[in-house]
Amino acid sequence: MVEIIQTNGSPIKAWVSGVPFEQEARAQVARVAELPFIFRHVAVMPDVHAGIGATIGSVVATTKAIVPAAVGVDIGCGMIAARTSLTASDLPDDLRPLRNAIERAVPHGGPGLRGSWGDKAPPHVVAAWAELRPAYAEIFAKHPKVEHNYDVEHLGTLGTGNHFVELCLEERDNSVWIMLHSGSRGVGNRIGTYFIERAREEMMRLDRALPHRDLAYFEEGTTGFGDYVEAVSWAQSYAAKNRELMMTNVVTALARSNKLPAFTLNQHAVNCHHNYISRENHFGEEVWVTRKGAVRAQRGELGIIPGSMGARSFIVRGKGNAESFSSCSHGAGRLMSRTQAKKQFTVEDHKKATLGVECRKDADVIDETPMAYKSIDAVMAAQDDLVEIVHTLRQVVCVKG
């Protein structure tokens, strides 16, 4: 069921039945809706929560303009998942060696951890970077500030925060899945930060009034617009390749492990963004769609909606709901800030919540504890007209930076 909220600008259509939609996020979405180039309405997904720049869990369709902060700085962040030929009975009783193997294969950030390859990027990562670099070189030739010293060093690496690698079991057949979450890493952050500031400068130059300074935009046809689309599109390609490389590295590491029998991947991986821009046709018109914390869910299209470290995740098939601009949530969505979670929960709370999952159980991941997130079951119920569940997954190993 969709809730329609009237604003001073375009209406908001929100899939939030039975899930929290806090006041800060409501106010933030309402400001976005005031922009003059919003197409029809702003769509809000059930994992909605306040973010920096624009609301996480929002879908913003626009005509002739793009708001860089509505994408944010984790450009192309998203998920990849693949089913293996393994089943639960193939897994060892002690899952710690598998977690260790993944951690060695995929650099991941965090206190005292290895966040990049350094000068030891493997040959297949170097080869992938050789394909990506020429287009990147053209971008930073025009915009030197977007050049990032860790571009190849971050390719095929996980990062920190809510990014993760998991081994999961499908609830019907106990098949083993590999699932991971990451984006364009430091280079995407550099691109996003740079163009958000460029858009603010453009608004000041044109003396444009804004509902909020974070909603600075580029108008289609301007140099800034073209340069941003070029740069963000490249960062989205980098992010997709980043996930593909990590999947390859995880598969290789598990295959080399002496803890598992030989296995294959049984189907093509689902690889989807949830922070990105896309040129799409909706209601008979070509528009720009910005999904910040939302997955495209066109009819028949597969997507991934993860829960939290102790909750189920889902492979879904889109229903192509026109009112949502063919979108769905990108996860459970935060229930509280990271700071609040660290104040409210203890390591013991976290251990209980992740019982049965081989994962970090220390103070540095309290902000990612399952209680910091909304109920994934409530989120899925709120969007049953947006997607259908194809596979339900329960994680048994979780690697976080």
**CA distances (Å), 392 to each of 27, 47, 54, in order?**
34, 18, 30
Contact 318, 389 (CB under 8 A): no
Classified as helix, coil or strand, 30 is helix
Look at the block and give the residue holding tokens 């044109």: 206
Q: Are strands 38-49 and 12-14 parallel, antiparallel or unpaired?
A: parallel
Pairwise CA distance, residues 139 & 263, whole Å: 41
Contact 178, 81 (CB under 8 A): yes
Beta-bridged to residue 282, according to DSSP, are 285
Catalytic hit among 154, 163, 274, 330? 330
Q: Are strands 285-292 and 313-318 parallel, antiparallel or unpaired?
A: unpaired
Pairwise CA distance, residues 93 & 86, whole Å: 15
Spell out the residues 6+ positions from residue 151 whose beta carbon is closer than 8 angstroms to its own.
Answer: 129, 133, 136, 186, 187
> In this structure, what token pair is assigned to residue 260?
């598992």
Beta-bridged to residue 278, according to DSSP, are 289
**CA distances (Å), 328 to each of 1, 314, 320, 391, in order?**
13, 12, 10, 16
Q: Are strands 270-273 and 78-87 parallel, antiparallel or unpaired?
A: antiparallel
Spell out the residues 6+ positions from residue 81 whose beta carbon is closer than 8 angstroms to its own.
Answer: 177, 178, 179, 180, 269, 270, 304, 315, 393
Q: What is the DSSP letter of 364?
A: G
350 has catalytic annotation: no
Task: Please list the active-site residues.
Answer: 330
